[in-house]
Structure 1
Amino acid sequence: MSITAEAAAPREFRDAVEHWDAIVIGAGLSGMYQLLKLRQMGFKARVYEAGGGVGGTWYWNRYPGARFDSESWTYGFSFSPEVLKEWDWKEHFSGQPENLRYCEFLADKFDLRRDITFNTRVKAAHWDDAANEWEVTFETGGRARARFLITAIGPLSSPTMPTIPGIEDFKGESWHTGLWPHHPVSFEGKRVAVIGTGASGVQAITEIAKTVGHLTVFQRTPNWCTPLRNSKIEPETMADIRSRYDQIFAQCRENWGCFVHTADPRHSTDVTPEEREAFFEKLYNTPGFAFWQGNFRDVLMDQAANDALTEFVIKKIRARVKDQKIADKLIPTNHGYGTRRVPLESGYFEVYNQPNVKLVDIRETPIERVTETGLRVGGQDYEFDMIIYATGFDAITGAFDRIDFQGRNGAKLRDKWADGPHTYLGLNVAGFPNMLTLVGPHNAATFCNLPRCIEQNVEFVSDLLAYMRDKGLSRIEATPEAESAWTAHVYDTGSRLLLTKVDSWMTGVNKNVPGRLKRTFMAYAGGAPKYRQKCEEIAANGYEGFALR
């Protein structure tokens, strides 16, 4: 017999109300850094985390093959010279176990756990206008109150399952990549199904194929993938990287997405076809996002330029997949290269050359239901020992939707954002006083080498809170006019990019989420340098656009 979390909680905890200056939701990288800054400023702060440890993304996503697509040495935090001196990266694109150890290292280094309550999922957060504070309710039944509420819940933290009948009927093992178990999972000798070929699916499929008995991949939407080209970092290389950290972070700071790959200032039409092909080839053989982020400046804005780039990638896929009928299925036809976030891979296409791997296109033969023994697809029953759901996340706003945020007069955030988010700087919402949304929608962080933009977000919020304290102010809220102007600016920055013409999580479309089929825009496409400049100008002008009192 099962009991609810609330019933299991001690009565004294359920009735207690904890009081803080600031509450932070989430103990991933943004939550940890925000906690550290609040503590340094003398704020009495508490972090509430749904998981059993720090790390956010790297705590939950333990699926085989999970790793960085940013260079490790550009991903780590830059704010602490001691951390930069003490931490050694082992690979240029580090895997999940090492990434989680890095998060735990930060927690140990700054003794963060003493101000974090783990295994505590936030159920609701309601603004109390009379008390000028937020009341947060937990699924355990406990409550806490604070003047300021800071969300650090991440853009990809709300896993979604596909809408397939019978999911609960399957008698074998089943896992979602974003909720992977903490114990080892063996694929050896097993019949395994993977549903989904997004970034998580690409990484998991490549790794599972190394030991699986038989693997069947069920693909709805193929994705453009290009090589990661990972390698080990030798001690002498790490020493060289450490000596150049100032230069590396300065380069990231000035780049659109805070990666080390700078877009080529030329248009693709500025060179001959032969020179263009040679340039594509050079970038294709460069590790990381060079081929996506370091290409000609027009390939993500001009359709003809993108067509040429896309054709180059098609030829690469066809050269790597032996059966051209399978290659046909793996080549996207509804969007060009780079107009959705690009999964980086390490032998993904070669997986389909293995005799024990089968690809099923569920656009041609849809999955009808999950059965006790496997899947029924196109009238055919497949038997499996394990089903893996690589069906992604309800991106950017999904984690907000799962918490009952209510602002002034009981207004619900999920209702306000029903047709797409409205924010000011991606950091505050009109009608929701004293709520700061790190890495929220319409924030540069959604297109960013994330920790680079996390640092900017956290430092802006921390400076803002210090300003309010020094001025004797206790309440901040974006004005409707500033929110409207920023949201319009966000859409304007995206209007020139081909990606806003494509269905993806960046444009708010998610076929695994009921009602999430209308195209909107979730990100900020003006680039991190421009976003940082706007934030600095707003701060310099006394935080204009915010009503402070």
Structure 2
Amino acid sequence: MSGPLGAVEEKELDALIVGGGFGGVCQLHKLRKEGFNVKLVDNVSDYGGVWYWNRYPGARVDSTVPHYEFSDPELWNHWLWKQRFPGSQELRDYFSFVADKWDLRKDTQFSTLVTAAQWSDVDCRWHVTTEDSNTRETQKWKVSYLLMNTGFAGKRHIPDWPGIDKFKGFWVHPSFWPHEEPSLKGKKIAVIGTGSTGVQLTQDLAPLASEFVLFQRTPNLALPMKQVDYQGDEQPIPKQKYDALFKSRNENFGGFNFDFLPRGTFDDDEEKRRETYEELWAEGDFHFWLATYYDMLFSPDANKAAYDFWKEKVRARISDPVLKEAFAPETQPHAFGCKRISLENRFYELFNAPNVNLCDLKKTPIVEVTEKGIKTTNKEYEFDLVVCATGFDAITGGLLQIDIRGEGGQRLQDKWKEGVKTYLGMAVSGFPNMFFTYGPQAPTALCNGPTCAELQGDWIVNCMKYMRDNNFVKITADSEAEKKWAASIWTLANASLLPNTKSVSTYLSIYHIARACLCSVD
């Protein structure tokens, strides 16, 4: 609707939620229950957040159910999972189920891209501009609160190798995987990257390919997933135990219902330690990482003991001595568990097949992309399909894609130009009434997603209720509080092995230690 002289009329809300993943959906549901006038917008056509995009072969969550779902009994009493680790399609089906049960669609606007947001101290409101993704029509909003749920995987990262535009085959980032599956059987396929996405892609694509090459810079110290397919009404645990699981999920380090052991690695003798490792390994999820001895992430000797066990298990699954060393080096490449652990299903055995190969990018880096494929320092590979699983701008990308301006017109890009500063990993000084989830300096990087979505969502809702009940209209983080928040996190992190491991995921995982801080803030 247009006003005088064709001006676009602003729609007024208590809050505008940006993003339709776990965080945004949780906030929409809870804020409506508290009587707030709120809308959710997303630039895609359905709910799911990262799971709307992740449709590549093998895409699935690496948290077990029922950890990876909302804690509302109205949902879990009426939902059955098909697998212990659901695939992306099942997760999209779950979001559709949640949308129906919570009646979310009436307050959701899809195909809506947020392009700009400006805070005004005159009326203590955010003035937000959106654009219809299909028609490019502009819409204006005037809102008391701006709630950003763009996630830590909001902006794809593709290295600027020369020649990408010359490649005659199919080049794709996995989050842009086409909705209609391309022909893959018998093709020459490459996957670049060995994060969890690279591992999952390899497991599905290598058996289909006539020739397959995985380009690896750093080995993934992956753990066995041990997938389970459920039959009939079978589920991982009885429904009567769900309440206890969701309660404990909020109380443990990783957002699961398990935590570190109350004893150190060398409190056990060698036989008992081996028995403990075997029991953790047999769980087939994150137990070997996050339910192990409490000193594993803090003591180099304890960490090496865990790595040595892992190395023995993995090397036994690989035939080629060169590949044994590439995937599970004799000399530990970095502190175990201080890069994001991935889960795998017979990933290592694939490389025993003659058509499946590994290119070590530390020894032979990529020089350029050619018309036929990829050229490294020692050879040129020919491919029909290249999947560039090189991740995301995982620190600030989702937020900085939007022109966000706070008090005095300061841009968030400029505020963070000299380094990211936040309070609780959820707010920024100079940007009143703006909260974000899955953001920088928050505990969410290594946390089970729905756990932190609910924890952070509850904090935001309770803050907004307090503001309303006490007739406050503006809240902003203090710059000194930002400094103290960062300092407290680094103090905790520096007591661990995390800062000694160089990677973006490690930068994020340092802030995972903030969970204790976040949970203690009222």
Structure 1 SS opposite 2:67? helix
Q: Where do residues 285-304 of structure 1 align in structure 2 (5 Å cutoff)? A: 285-304=282-301
- Asked if structure 1 preserves the Cα contact closer than 8 Å seen for 2:154 and 2:394, the reply is yes
Give me the whole-angstrom Cα distance separating, in 2, the residues matched to 1:297 and 1:279.
13
How far the C-alpha of 1:138 sits from its partner, in A, is 3.0
How far the C-alpha of 1:131 sits from its partner, in A, is 2.5
Matched, 1:29 2:22: yes
- Asked if structure 1 preserves the Cα contact closer than 8 Å seen for 2:374 and 2:381, the reply is yes
2:204 corresponds to which of 185, 207, 226: 207
Q: 1:484 is matched with which residue?
A: 483
Counterparts in 2 of 1:521 and 1:124: CA distance versus 1, 3 Å: farther
How far the C-alpha of 1:304 sits from its partner, in A, is 0.8
1:527 corresponds to which of 505, 515, 522: 515
How far the C-alpha of 1:41 sits from its partner, in A, is 2.1
Matched, 1:90 2:82: yes
1:18 corresponds to which of 7, 11, 14: 11
- Asked if structure 1 preserves the Cα contact closer than 8 Å seen for 2:65 and 2:236, the reply is no
Matched, 1:313 2:300: no
Q: Where do residues 148-159 of structure 1 align in structure 2 (5 Å cutoff)? A: 148-159=145-156
CA RMSD of aligned residues (A): 1.9
How far the C-alpha of 1:320 sits from its partner, in A, is 0.7
Matched, 1:128 2:120: yes
Give me the whole-angstrom Cα distance separating, in 1, the residues matched to 2:212 and 2:167.
17
How far the C-alpha of 1:190 sits from its partner, in A, is 0.4
How far the C-alpha of 1:506 sits from its partner, in A, is 3.3
Give me the whole-angstrom Cα distance separating, in 2, the residues matched to 1:303 and 1:391.
29
Structure 1 SS opposite 2:339? coil
- Asked if structure 2 preserves the Cα contact closer than 8 Å seen for 1:135 and 1:146, the reply is yes
Counterparts in 2 of 1:239 and 1:431: CA distance versus 1, 3 Å: closer
- Name the % identity: 38
Q: Where do residues 1-80 of structure 1 align in structure 2 (5 Å cutoff)? A: 15-78=8-71, 80=72
Structure 1 SS opposite 2:250? helix
Q: 1:513 is matched with which residue?
A: none
Counterparts in 2 of 1:346 and 1:521: CA distance versus 1, 3 Å: closer
- Asked if structure 1 preserves the Cα contact closer than 8 Å seen for 2:446 and 2:509, the reply is no
Q: Where do residues 269-418 of structure 1 align in structure 2 (5 Å cutoff)? A: 269-331=266-328, 333-418=332-417
Gaps of 5+ in 1: 1-11, 509-519, 537-549
Give me the whole-angstrom Cα distance separating, in 2, the residues matched to 1:506 and 1:500.
11
Give me the whole-angstrom Cα distance separating, in 2, the residues matched to 1:52 and 1:380.
43
Counterparts in 2 of 1:165 and 1:16: CA distance versus 1, 3 Å: farther
Give the number of equivalent residue pairs: 511
Q: 1:252 is matched with which residue?
A: 249
- Asked if structure 2 preserves the Cα contact closer than 8 Å seen for 1:447 and 1:525, the reply is no
Give me the whole-angstrom Cα distance separating, in 2, the residues matched to 1:252 and 1:46.
29
- Asked if structure 1 preserves the Cα contact closer than 8 Å seen for 2:187 and 2:385, the reply is yes
How big is each residue's C-alpha offset from its partner over 1:144-187, in whole Å with a ceiling of 9 and x where there is no partner? 22111000111222221122111122121121112222111332
How big is each residue's C-alpha offset from its partner over 1:82-108, in whole Å with a ceiling of 9 and x where there is no partner? 211101111111111101110111112
**TM-score, with length taken from structure 2:** 0.94
Counterparts in 2 of 1:521 and 1:66: CA distance versus 1, 3 Å: closer
Give me the whole-angstrom Cα distance separating, in 2, the residues matched to 1:13 and 1:249.
51
How big is each residue's C-alpha offset from its partner over 1:376-429, in whole Å with a ceiling of 9 and x where there is no partner? 122522211111011011113221222222211122222322344221112211
Give me the whole-angstrom Cα distance separating, in 1, the residues matched to 2:347 and 2:163.
30
Amino acid at match of 1:104: S
1:116 corresponds to which of 108, 112, 121: 108
Structure 2 SS opposite 1:121? strand
Give me the whole-angstrom Cα distance separating, in 2, the residues matched to 1:155 and 1:319.
36
**TM-score, with length taken from structure 1:** 0.89
How far the C-alpha of 1:531 sits from its partner, in A, is 2.4
